[in-house]
Amino acid sequence: AQTVTQSQPEMSVQEAETVTLSCTYDTSESDYYLFWYKQPPSRQMILVIRQEAYKQQNATENRFSVNFQKAAKSFSLKISDSQLGDAAMYFCAYRAHFGNEKLTFGTGTRLTIIP
Amino acid sequence: ETGVTQTPRHLVMGMTNKKSLKCEQHLGHNAMYWYKQSAKKPLELMFVYNFKEQTENNSVPSRFSPECPNSSHLFLHLHTLQPEDSALYLCASSPAAGIPFFGQGTRLTVV
């Protein structure tokens, strides 16, 4: 069974600085997707970024980028130039590529932005 | 506007009550999901519907009863719940095998 582990329950960062959130996963599949979702106090889960396992290039979305290490089964999220609006719970998630809509989530990391 | 709307946002119910959670999406998606989010636990997938047909029931107790009358609407009927069922219930929708978009959830408290 696939598992997703986020070992940092809480992180904090000064506004305008850079922070990295960690995620590791376990799977026997070779093709899959990885996601980072953000959950602000409004409670809606918002997709931040996604990575397809067959792509070697790390995904980027503006200030958000990932470090995808397939052999190590590691998928960290880097947030550059942190802003107050980045404060939220961040969830790492895994989904197999074929024939399976199920997302497996980690337990989340609460990110606090210090003004 | 999220595209996936859940009502109510908050619900308090007694253990003998019957209530329903509603989810509506206007994104043209074919798949809809119910997830349960409890404190300090990963989100748990409860049910998946594809083209109105249930394709996954993740060993959910029968006191939770889903209904999908069409691909735009999803309900979760609740009866004789337990206090440990208190949680945030999230609905999501996606294109077939696509990326899920989530609603804002219903915060359920069972007293």
Among chain B residues, the shortest Cα distance to A106 is held by B42
What does the pLDDT average to over B95-108?
89
pLDDT tens digit sequence for A99-108: 666 889 999 9
A8 touches chain B (CB under 8 A): no
Residues of A whose CB is below 8 A from B31 = 101
Among chain A residues, the shortest Cα distance to B58 is held by A102
pLDDT for B1 beyond 70: no
Residues of A whose CB is below 8 A from B2 = 44
d(CA A106, CA A24): 9
Q: Pick from B104, B1, B81: which is nearest to A44 by CA?
A: B104
pLDDT tens digit sequence for A64-114: 999 999 999 999 999 999 999 999 999 999 998 766 668 899 999 999 999
Q: What is the DSSP string of B41-58?
A: S--EEEEEEETTEEEEE-
pLDDT for B41 beyond 90: no
pLDDT for B108 beyond 60: yes
pLDDT tens digit sequence for B51-79: 888 888 888 999 999 999 998 999 999 99
Query: Containing H/E element for B11?
Result: strand B10-13
pLDDT tens digit sequence for A3-35: 999 999 999 999 999 999 999 999 998 889 999
Query: Taking a C-beta distance cutoff of 8 angstroms, is the pair B104, B1 a contact?
Result: no
